Amino acid sequence: MSLRGATTAVIRRELQLFAQRKSDWANPLMFFLIVCSLFPFAVGSESEKLKLIGIGVIFVGALLAAMLSLPKLFDEDARDGSLELMLASPEPLAALILARVAALSLALGIALSAVTPVFALFYALPFDVAAMLSLNVLMAVPTLLLVGSIAAALLVSARGGAILTAVLVLPLTIPTLIFGAGAALKVLYGESPAAELALQAAFMLLALALCPLAAAAALKISTD
Amino acid sequence: MSLRGATTAVIRRELQLFAQRKSDWANPLMFFLIVCSLFPFAVGSESEKLKLIGIGVIFVGALLAAMLSLPKLFDEDARDGSLELMLASPEPLAALILARVAALSLALGIALSAVTPVFALFYALPFDVAAMLSLNVLMAVPTLLLVGSIAAALLVSARGGAILTAVLVLPLTIPTLIFGAGAALKVLYGESPAAELALQAAFMLLALALCPLAAAAALKISTD
Amino acid sequence: MIWESWAAFWAMGGRGLFVWGSYGVLAFAVIAELVTLKRARTSALKALHEHHEH
Amino acid sequence: MARTESQSNDKFAGSWFWRYASPAAFFPLAGKLEKLCWALAAVLAAVGLYIGFFVAPTDAQQGEVYRVIFIHVPAAWMTMVIYMAMAFWAATGLVLGTRLSFMMSHALAPTGAIMAVVALVTGSLWGRPTWGTYWVWDARLTSTLILFFLYMGYMALAASFDDKKKGDRASALIALVGAINVPIIYFSVKWWNTLHQGSSVRPGSSSMAATMLTAMMIMTFAFWFYCVAAALHRLRTDIIERERNAAWLRDTLKAASQ
Amino acid sequence: MGGIQGARSVMRLVVEKLAAERGGRAVFADLSFVVEAGTLLRVSGANGAGKTTLLRILAGLAAAADGNAAWHANDDLVRPAEAACFVGHANAFNDALSVKENLAYAAALSGHNASSQNISLILDAFGMKAMINRSFGTLSQGQRKRCSLARLLLLDSDSASNSNGRGGRAWLLDEPFVALDVDTQAQLATVISAKLVAGGLVIYTSHQAVDIHAANTQEILL
Amino acid sequence: MGGIQGARSVMRLVVEKLAAERGGRAVFADLSFVVEAGTLLRVSGANGAGKTTLLRILAGLAAAADGNAAWHANDDLVRPAEAACFVGHANAFNDALSVKENLAYAAALSGHNASSQNISLILDAFGMKAMINRSFGTLSQGQRKRCSLARLLLLDSDSASNSNGRGGRAWLLDEPFVALDVDTQAQLATVISAKLVAGGLVIYTSHQAVDIHAANTQEILL
Ligand code: HEM
Ligand SMILES: Nc1ncnc2c1ncn2[C@@H]1O[C@H](COP(=O)(O)OP(=O)(O)OP(=O)(O)O)[C@@H](O)[C@H]1O
Ligand SMILES: Nc1ncnc2c1ncn2[C@@H]1O[C@H](COP(=O)(O)OP(=O)(O)OP(=O)(O)O)[C@@H](O)[C@H]1O
Ligand SMILES: [Mg+2]
Ligand SMILES: [Mg+2]
């Protein structure tokens, strides 16, 4: 009952912040858009080449956009002291973190996967590939944010070797990337993407189960 | 005399900070590394494919890495009030900004261009292309940071952080990207990259002449 | 009248989807802009009246 | 200390420009202008579309699909013209310190961005039947896309300031920086495009019948008036928001509602 | 709502041989004292003596190097997070959100259900009612401090423990008078006195001389 | 080094019909006063009255909505940045750098050439000499404040204007006593008195009652 109160409060606050500062979700979107449109300038405009890199660029772009909004999770709160409210709450920290990641995933995941098909167009990809990419972005963003929340929590005080944690955490997102881009590639080659999708979903559930607990532990470590 | 004193003080402080917090230059480097190593997972590892996209990925990665360190230019100073020291200095603000951008460019430009050849090898690019890429990264990073300092100065008192900076700056860096990647491509195709290099240099000089002034104006606007 | 029939007009030589799609997008954009303009004005006036009442 | 508006007004007292540079004098004038522009836009659009669809003949090469031109080209032109106008008012604002200039810039931006979207989408829809693809990385198309980004950056920046006065000057500066960059970007993209020889297709090749040209020109004027009207409306809303403490606004609105 | 059953909670703090380190240097060591409900404890000492460090340890926000500090509610051991409220230099408000949104969030997080009336009532007590919808970032230094204190009261007021006048959670106040104007300083002193009379336990640090009316006072010099 | 020729500089501040706005709301309006060298001006007022806003305008760090504030050095108009030093809530020290590095940077930026001795001498005066190589982020609240004050003295001390006892730049101190322990508060009061005796001009705000010995005092209530 009170746990529900606390988690809804976390989500409500997150949404209030999104409403207050549209830039929180609009800017990652613009970043994604711009990253996707930079590559042709560097690679060339032949549509054969573009088709080749399109899936990769779009997927990596979405992951980077999500990764860049990770600092929003705890940094500002740590600076103004709000993080201590969360730590001092009688409710389980992992649940509160999960609520916060959920709000961010929802906003960001939906926004990014909604514009993905447009970029697929820029890279001369067919419609079914675009749809598959979009679905995979929707699944990958929450996974990445969940895994990333551990890093974000560790980085709050930046005492525990900021770089080391980034190096440790980022490789964990590679499966997401492989399965996500793989599913779209399968569709491009006319094969069934079922295996990749299943693995992607499994990976997401695993992250959902483990990451909030790990992030809670990390947060406690880094605020000592 | 006193101007020299002030600018060397700015540069010295910047270097002291780099020494103190290795993450300031190690993080952009890590980001670069991650971007460069993510693409093969999404695109596949055939060396023909990789060669095609290598130049683009490396160049875009370097630009993004540089761009993400832009908030470092003024944000922390604005938060702790040090920015007011700079604004209240009797020396011309543009010169102080230039000193600061120069220090960052030096550290970042050298670091990024030093690791560029390594990645070029990952992407199966020949040595001469790798060298040309490295040279171009060295020229592109200062240009980007100069142009970006305007956006960073404007954003000091706004919310939006790293990502809004990207939205403002990236479209303005397209010429740098085109000439930089273009020069490397020319070398790859066995042609002379002289024209691209000349244009790149011209663009850099233009940025050197105009951007510090614009950034000084921007800083005055946003702190007024 | 350069068209043989209304049907021919709507068909646009088999490219109706693209032609009317374009005009549709324009119409959507214009209507959306007009609606937001109107809304912004209404809320500005409302805020103004509230302000004057205080 | 920053130049205040009253100071600059004193300095230039008497000239017509400064009379209308104050929101109080401009507000009613803009109201009249706005109405006129809406009416002209509607009439010209009706005439232009009539000529475009019922007088202009079928194109010999493209068939009927070319009729997209009546909106595509005006939108493409407007997005560029509006960016220039925006940068002009931004510069005016920075130099003279007049609030109204900044407000003009803000009022123009959303319409400019919408025009960019219309140009991009209608162009894509035209490209599919003529080029067989929705998008090519042609210089003109690509620079329109970048222009759209510049609009978005400008608006995002203006919106990210709590302090409107700061937001005014900050976004004006970025508009100017963008304006200096637009030609540089255009030429480098063009140069890039020839380097890669990617798309052999690009707009602007076929010759046009006189009636087509007439319809296109009339539609262009209709777009002009539409954009001016929309910008003026937005400007007046902005004035209402910012001048809520001013007595003249109260009086003007009261007079208008009676 | 955790370990404290309001109706009977009488707080008690027992500190034994507590030692603290910051950055490898000992700040203080071998500190032992007991504080009973209804007592006002002032922690004093020169700048850098370790007052903030001590309060953060008592609030469970930092770890002790040695010894321990235990909170008891009616002789039951309770977690520091449940036993005490800490108000320090960082104000724990988000700059972009309004005062009200911030307060509602803090209340919900600590398991309270702050009604709108409640919030505006408490803000009114600190002369901040007119600013209830202002975003926190636009407030002056003293107005921010007032908001922090309003949160303290809010988290106290509707907890069952306080309604029957038996103390509630202990208050740990690090320099609570800083940035407040003279009237508000006096007002805060009154609020603290009331808390003590109700059986509460208050520990504070201050370099300012402000009279607080209290029946039992204790002082520690670090 | 700009407009002030130390040897003869006698500061004077003339404020005429000054008005300030924050976030579209008027904070104060129609404020006029004159402050002569050797005078201590206290700006008082409740929380949110606009004290910080006023000091920032005088320091040239914020723009006035109307009216103007002019600094004169021997009847020559000088820029606020050259005329005054502002010490506010934000302490203008970088957390990662050492106290010494921070001070050397500040001195160089404002055209001074602070020697190591000079720095450690001034730090010693505020009991901070032992922490000269500590990174600023590890200091306690009061230690930070002491560093800000040390910077103030540093930028004053080796400017030509002060060496012959004629004032130097005006000081604008926003709540300078906050976070300082009692001894240091008294010490700061002495430093301010000395500045005034030397012909300096000091404007400050404070909610704390600290006695400052001064021949000429003025007060503004916002
Ligand atoms: C700066 C922006 C643009 C301008 C000034 C512009 C102008 C024009 C003009 C004048 C024509 C008529 C050419 C003719 O047939 O004589 C045209 C045709 C066309 N435009 Fe654009 N346009 C712009 C942007 C775009 C964009 C962004 C797209 C696509 C997304 C696009 C797609 C097309 C297509 C497909 C045609 C017909 C192609 C053809 O006739 O071969 N244009 N444009
Ligand atoms: N960014 C802002 N936007 C809107 N209003 C602001 C902003 N900053 C300050 N204010 C308001 O301006 C007024 C004056 O603030 P200021 O900080 O000058 O007060 P002060 O006298 O220094 O108060 P204190 O004693 O609390 O430090 C306050 O009412 C405050 O709420
Ligand atoms: N992160 C840190 N690393 C190293 N030393 C620290 C750190 N934080 C604080 N210290 C040191 O620990 C000591 C105690 O600090 P604390 O903040 O508790 O002092 P305080 O009594 O609250 O002082 P004040 O009256 O100035 O607020 C100080 O000497 C300080 O320099
Ligand atoms: Mg302390
Ligand atoms: Mg203040």
pLDDT at F54: 94
Distance CA B208, CA B216 (A): 13
For the CA of F143, the closest atom of ligand 3 is: 26
Does ipTM exceed 0.90? no
Average pLDDT, integer, range B190-214: 92
For residue A181, pLDDT beyond 80: yes
pLDDT at E8: 46
How many angstroms is it from D213 CA to the middle of ligand 1?
A: 14
Tokens of B115: 């690791």
- Of A63-67, A75-79, E155-159, which range is least confident? E155-159
pLDDT at D229: 96
Q: Domains plus CATH for chain E?
A: 6-221 (3.40.50.300)
For the CA of F56, the closest atom of ligand 2 is: 18
Q: Which residues of A touch D160 (CB under 8 A)?
A: 21, 23
Compute the residue count for chain B. 224
CA dihedral D38, D39, D41, D46 (to 10 degrees): 140
Distance CA B126, CA B135 (A): 15
For residue A25, pLDDT beyond 50: yes
pLDDT at D115: 96
Distance CA D207, CA D61 (A): 10
- pLDDT tens profile E144-160: 999 999 998 888 765 44
- pLDDT tens profile D50-86: 998 888 877 777 777 788 899 999 999 999 999 999 9
- pLDDT tens profile D14-26: 455 555 667 788 8
pLDDT at B160: 62
The list of chain F residues with pLDDT below 70 reads 1-8, 157-167
Q: How far is CA E19 from the centre of its chain?
A: 22
Between chain B and chain D, the number of residue pairs with CB atoms below 8 A apart is: 77
Q: In one letter, which amino acid is B88? A: A
- Of B64-73, B133-142, E58-67, which range is least confident? B64-73
pLDDT at D1: 36
Q: What whole-number percentage of chain E has pLDDT above 90?
A: 37
For residue B217, pLDDT beyond 60: yes
| CB interface of A with B, residues 173-192, below 8 Å | 174, 177-178, 180-181, 185
Q: Where are the domains of chain A?
A: 3-222
Nearest CA to ligand 3 atom 12: E22
Name the minimum distance, in Å, from the CA of B218 to any CA of chain F: 14
pLDDT at D15: 58
For residue B165, pLDDT beyond 90: no
3-state secondary structure of A138: helix
pLDDT at F210: 85
Q: Which residues of D touch E138 (CB under 8 A)?
A: 162
pLDDT at F8: 46
Confirm or reject: Cβ of D86 under 6 Å from ligand 1: no
* H/E segment holding residue E212: none
Q: Give yes or no for F46 touching B (CB within 8 A).
A: no
User: Which residues sit opposite B120 in a β-bridge?
Assistant: none
3-state secondary structure of E165: coil
Q: Give the end-to-end CA distance of chain D in Å, rounded to a whole number.
A: 43
- pLDDT tens profile C2-29: 777 877 777 777 777 888 999 999 999 9
Name the minimum distance, in Å, from the CA of B5 to any CA of chain A: 33
- Of A153-157, D6-10, D107-111, D172-176, which range is least confident? D6-10
Q: Are B44 and B123 in contact (CB under 8 A)?
A: no
Confirm or reject: Cβ of E52 under 6 Å from ligand 3: yes
User: Which residues sit opposite E202 in a β-bridge?
Assistant: E40, E171
Residues 6+ apart with CB under 8 A from F182: E207
* H/E segment holding residue F221: strand F216-221
Average pLDDT, integer, range D92-105: 90
The DSSP symbol for D57 reads P
Q: Are F176 and F184 in contact (CB under 8 A)?
A: no
Nearest to E134 by CA among E94, E83, E182: E94
pLDDT at D224: 95
Shortest CA distance from A20: residue in chain D? D160
How many angstroms is it from E51 CA to the middle of ligand 4?
A: 6
- pLDDT tens profile E164-202: 345 688 999 999 999 899 999 999 999 999 999 988 899
